[in-house]
Amino acid sequence: MSRIGNKPVPIPSGITADIAGQTVKVKGPKGALSAVLPDEVEVKLDGGRIRVDPRSETKRARSQWGTARTLVANLIAGVTKGFEQRLEINGVGYRAAVQGKNLQLALGYSHDIVYPIPEGITIATPRPVEIVVSGIDRQKVGQVAAEIRAYRPPEPYKGKGIKYAAERIFRKEGKKK
């Protein structure tokens, strides 16, 4: 029995939801999103709520149940509030700046890294050592943040690199004489 899957997803006022087969389409003040749910789950619209139930009692159907419900909840949260991921840059001379539709990163390499900002994503740099990735699609926001972090992941000795704001870097002690 899925504890997450049992909960129906409430639809706030100002949001419209359409269900066609396994496709859920949600439209709100920030935009429109859609997701195709797995065939193992059944999705229904009753009243002002979306309900997700497994079609059978197989292990796969039960494992997809909570996942599908969370996907629907993320669609609704995206079109109402949106999502954001904060990144911090640590290192001497490391900095970031948004120039037009590109993110310019100076990360200690012999050249600057130019990251083209994808459609539907907003990147802001309130400070040169802070990057804020925001958008309505949770998966896309997380993917863009992961791609930016991959250019210079934090290293364990000095902590230099790009890290998530909430991430804690496990620090190692250096070599002893």
Interaxial angle between packed helices 138-150 and 59-80, expressed in degrees from 0 to 180 and rounded to the nearest 10: 90
With beta carbons less than 8 A apart as the criterion, state whether 105 and 115 touch.
Answer: yes
**3-80: CATH class:** alpha beta
Query: What is the model's pLDDT at position 1?
Result: 62
Shared fold status for 3-80 and 83-164: yes
Report the CATH architecture of 83-164.
Answer: Alpha-Beta Complex (3.90)
Q: Which long-range contacts (CB under 8 A, 24 or more apart) does 158-163 make?
A: 158/91, 159/90, 160/90, 160/91, 160/94, 160/108, 161/89, 161/90, 161/91, 161/94, 161/107, 162/87, 162/88, 162/89, 162/94, 162/107, 162/131, 163/87, 163/88, 163/90
Q: Which residue has the tokens 């049992």?
A: 6
Q: Return the residue matching tokens 């972090």.
A: 149
Domain boundaries, the chain: 3-80, 83-164
Per-residue pLDDT at 5: 83
Say what the pLDDT of residue 47 is. Answer: 84
Identify the pLDDT of residue 98.
Answer: 95
- Can you tell me the distance from the alpha carbon of 65 to that of 17, in angstroms, rounded to the nearest whole number? 19
Mean pLDDT of residues grouped by 10 in the chain (177 residues)? 83 91 92 92 90 91 91 94 95 94 94 94 95 95 96 93 93 87
